[in-house]
Structure 1
Amino acid sequence: MARPGITREQVFEAAEALAAEGINPTVIAVRAHLGSGSPNNITRHLSDWRAQRETATVESVPAPPEGFEQAIRQVWAHAWKAAQAQLVGEREALNEARRAIEQERASMLAEIERLDAALEAAQERAMAEAQALETERRAHAQTREALREATVLAEERARQIERMDVERRENQVQLTALSGRIGTLEAENQRANADLELARQRLSEWRAQASQSPGTNGALAKELDSARNHAREARQIADLAGKKVAQLERDIEVERRAREEAERKLEVQERELAELRSRASD
């Protein structure tokens, strides 16, 4: 992230303010005073400020005290020149020391720059890791919710399988009962058909017997009446047997349809049960 530019005037004002407070205007102090700024820019502007201040100090030669004689003025000038020469030498040594300090400061500032960049990179990595962690946390939350829903669905399917197992067993019992009922009805139908056939045979016999009795005397008349009565009874028995056979056939048809419906329902339930078990095992 680029830092805002710091002007020469801002550095000069900060250095003057620090010096006025009795604080040595170092790069770190000026940067803290300004609140921001590139250490390299501050170093360059601060060097200009120090050079300008030293030049102003050196070039302002103090005037000799008023009222002194010419000799005193000469002594004063000689002393001042000697001091000035000494000051030049000290200034050169000071400049040399300052250059060494500036080099060391430049190294320190470069290290500060490097540490700042490393800090920013670390902050960016921490932010990226925090975002990744949040994404992973949400993914885990979604996974837990999906697992919970899957568990609920599995439990519901298990209950459905259990209910369908019960229904299938009940249907099988019902189907077995229907099959037994059909067998009973078919046996009863066979007996009714046999009774019907026997009644028809008896009716034919009585009719033949009646037709073979041409006489009209008392004994024959009684025998004819008896034959006719037997014929009527046989006809009634045959009619009842026929009706019973027809009813039994209708009952058998109803029971067969019920068994077919039960078989179809059982087949559908077995397919649904197999599908539920397959889903529950996924």
Structure 2
Amino acid sequence: MARTGIDKQKVKQARQALLARGENPSIDAVRAELGNTGSKTTIHRYLRELEAEAGTKIDADAFLSDTLRTMVANLADQLQKEAQAVVDKARTDHGEQVAALFREIAERETQLAERNREISGLSNHLQEEQERHAGSKRALDEAAQDKRKLELSNKDLDARLSEKASQIASLEEKHQHARDSLEHYRQSVKEQRDAENRRFEHQMQQLLVEKRDLSQKLAGKQEELSIMVKENSALATRLADAHAAVEQFKVENQTQTATLASQADELQKLTDTEKKYDSLKRRYDQLENKYEAVQAHTRSQEVELASLKAEVATTAKILAVFEKAGTHHGTTAKTQGEKQVK
């Protein structure tokens, strides 16, 4: 619908004003003449009614000047030339594309001929492969017969392997007994260490009783104290070395255990001859002897480690007592000096 104030009469006046100025009364021109107001649909409807009333159709060329007509004609010629150039270029490109397609078709035909020759060669190769397959099938049948023979031999070896497995189980039982003995030894070492701790506490009580005598000898013991500090450092170093050695022996023990397990797996996989089994058995005995030697060395290292720990702990507590006694002696001497001054 038209906006408020736009009617047929105003559209007629705007149209006549445009015609008087020699302009084409188009919808946009009429709307601009009306101040850019009104609906284009309504303006178009009113313009058709006015043209019908006038009984004549407006010819657009009647409102064009000679200069505009010449310009339009030049533009039409230029447009036609450019369009013709585009068409010529398209034809040239099309011709080149067609030639390229023909060349590609020739190449594809050459490739097709080569593929046909390859297919022929592959067919011959396939026939040869089929013949070889037949030979392989015969060889497979012979291998199946050999397999049946090997299965019979394998059953005999399985029986022998079962016997060897029972021997391995016996060895594992011995190994478990050795582990139990080691655990029992560790428990006894722990109890011994607890007893030593109790003895140390008793010695500490005796040291407290001798505290007064030690305070009088503190001056002479200072030099001994420094020596003991150095010895403590050396003992700590020895303790760290011993601990590292124990850890190393534990690692070696685990390695030997893993080696024993690996050797057991090798025993289970024995499928050759009794000679190979005897060789593995001798290797197993050597490893077991080495394992027992490592266990004995580990026990000696643990005993030495416990001794070192006890010695370090005893030294540390004696040092603490000496330091505490020195502090008490200094306080006592200061108090006596103050009393003498008074």
Q: Same fold by TM-score, threshold 0.5 exceeded?
A: no
The structure whose Rg is larger is 1
TM-score, with structure 1 as normaliser: 0.39
